[in-house]
Amino acid sequence: MTKRFCILLTAILTGLLFLSVGTLALAATAETAEPKEKIMIQNEGYAKDKKGPVAFDHVAHTKAGVTCNECHHVYKKAGENTWKEGDEVQKCSECHDINENTEKDGMKVMKLQNAYHRNCKNCHKEEKKGPYKKCNDCHAKK
């Protein structure tokens, strides 16, 4: 083998290596942003945990035309949601305190139960689809 050929081969192999590492990294990010079909919303730590957990179906909502950012958000300023598909998804409870309303960068961040109810129930009520009257249409019996 000539020296030149060796250099070329090394260059190609290195290129391939970077390409596969890149693809793997991409696949990993895509995976973290892909929701599981059915999840159980069951946060621990409510001062009074009166109600059973709530099942939530991503696919049923996506099929009904609800977009990700109607539920997932990141606000640096009030009213400006900068979250977009592919971004990391944080748990609601990472920002909405489980037991009290808080404030962040001048924005009011309502406590977790109210955040969920406002998000889930308001939309169902407005669209006249999905449960909002009967508690146990969302909450499993305890």
Q: Which residues bind ligand HEC (CB under 6 A)?
A: 33, 35-36, 39, 41-43, 46, 49-51, 53-54, 56-58, 60-62, 64, 66, 68, 70-75, 78-79, 85, 89-96, 104, 107-109, 112-113, 115-121, 123-124, 127, 129-132, 135, 137-139
> C-beta of 45: minimal distance to ligand HEC in Å?
9
13, 5 contact by CB (below 8 A): no
> C-beta of 53: minimal distance to ligand HEC in Å?
6
> C-beta of 21: minimal distance to ligand HEC in Å?
23
Nearer to ligand HEC, 20 or 90 (CB): 90
Which residues neighbour 11 within 8 Å (Cβ) at sequence distance 6 or greater?
A: none
In angstroms, the Cα distances linking 57 to 18, 62, 66, 89, 130 are 37, 9, 12, 16, 12
Instruction: Say how many C-beta atoms besides its own lie within 10 A of residue 107's C-beta.
Output: 13
> C-beta of 102: minimal distance to ligand HEC in Å?
9
CA-based nearest residue to 138, from 18, 60, 41, 68: 41
Nearer to ligand HEC, 1 or 35 (CB): 35
